[in-house]
Amino acid sequence: MAVTDTEQEDYLLPCGRGLERVWERLDSVQNGGGDAHEATCVHCRTARDSLLGLRTATQELIDEPDPPPSDLVERIMSAVRAELRRGQALSLPTPHAGVVAVSEQAAAVVLRFAADSVPGVRARRCRISNVGIGPEGETVVHISMTIAVRVNGDGVQGLVPKVRERVTAAASARTGLLVGRLDIAIVDVYQEGGR
């Protein structure tokens, strides 16, 4: 099926501009081009920053001489499937735009990445439930996360506290969420080079 200009774009930002248009104009805006809306819109700017990060990461993968990790396809497909289930919207207060809504699934991606940053840990599932409003207007959440740990690693004794620390820090610093409760369960083990 051919796509025409009259068909609706796949994803509209809260400002009404299509993500596809932001992508197409990425380089021109970076080089000082673009219209007044693109120069001042926080939604377009945030999308542009994310797209630049994606482009940089993709280029690093292209330039990487080593073979990709054996679980790369699994992780990509997991992210794709997660995108199909965005979940409820969480309200995030921001200093510039008032309150911004973000899907639970988008916040979960950030938290899974934080858990993955602990050596010997791979995040599996992350579910976020909105449970209220904190003392400074932040959204208070309950996070339920499952992880896999590496066989013959340093042991699981210190892993869960490290995951808890990184996930809590990422929730606050990266998403503006206040963690009311964080449940972490080890549900799997893996060997280096395997799943």
User: Which residue is listed with tokens 């992880």?
Assistant: 147
Rounded Cα distance between 90 and 183, Å, is 19
Q: What is the per-residue pLDDT across 160-187, written as a single tens digit (0 to 9) for each?
A: 999 999 999 998 888 888 899 999 999 9
pLDDT in tens, 124-148: 999 888 778 888 777 888 999 999 9
Confidence band for 89, pLDDT divided at 50, 70 and 90: low
Q: Is 32 left (phi over 0), alpha (psi -120 to 50) or beta?
A: left
Domain boundaries, given as residue ranges, for the chain: 12-66, 68-190
User: Domain 68-190: what homologous superfamily?
Assistant: Cation efflux protein, cytoplasmic domain (3.30.70.1350)
- Are 179 and 172 within 8 A, CB to CB? yes
Mean pLDDT of 10-34: 75
Question: In terms of pTM, does the model score above 0.85?
Answer: no
